[in-house]
Structure 1
């Protein structure tokens, strides 16, 4: 497993070792011992999966409030996503800054997003299947979001007319969002 640091402490792009031949390939997407050797000691307790049927489905920007904040390990099983993270840790020197990554079934990259970051993605092809592990259970009472099109963030999403859930249409901008992530 190769680990690549990003501009944010704790946010990593992980590239698993892939062993391929004429039949296809094999890879370990998660191995607790290897993660510990890389300095990642997150105890994942729930797996989630989403399927987006169309190009331009945007999910996010999501996070959960403390004490139910989540660390996420995201990967794409089929398709391609533009994946964005936003630092929402008050007092952080990078508060309100974002970074984006392309995750796909072909590059097999995974993105580790720690607590204290909002996360969202937009599908770049139809029938995109995203899988992610989390270290805290989903909690509707702690579930929050930030407007995907917050002008203060200026994230250059790959579409200006995304397909959104009703919930994602009504998130506040970061300056008005409830944030208590520890």
Structure 2
């Protein structure tokens, strides 16, 4: 029975092809240009600087150095450009080492200390003469300042620690 139904519907029996269409052809209305597709992915992200990263260009360093008394040896102000440092806003104790703003061959240096990114103007042990930081001996609350080139070229390291209220000297090596 299925064969009869299929046989009865041939392509020549189509009513569509035999029935005249008196309607005018349908045309699509003119349309506005299709806008370009917008990206569907996430918008580009501008990286935000990490406040806890070392930042030797922080404005707080320049402010702190401008508050320091002049170098006692040359009577010159200090250069705000650090020779070394690990300044960051999150560390209990961080430091930058600056030199006197002079053209002398062996300009005096000093360490400038910060607690949570804020300059510690008083109560800090003497920090003149240091020219580097021993990163291996430094932690978030302890700074190991190094003097290189002393007697027989040996390094001398002095450690300072933030004790919760201020900076204290905790040990010498070398």
Same topology, TM > 0.5 = no
Which protein is bigger by CA-based radius of gyration? 2
Q: TM-score, normalised by structure 1?
A: 0.26
Structure with higher RCO (Cα < 8 A, 6+ apart): 1
Q: Which has the higher helix share?
A: 2
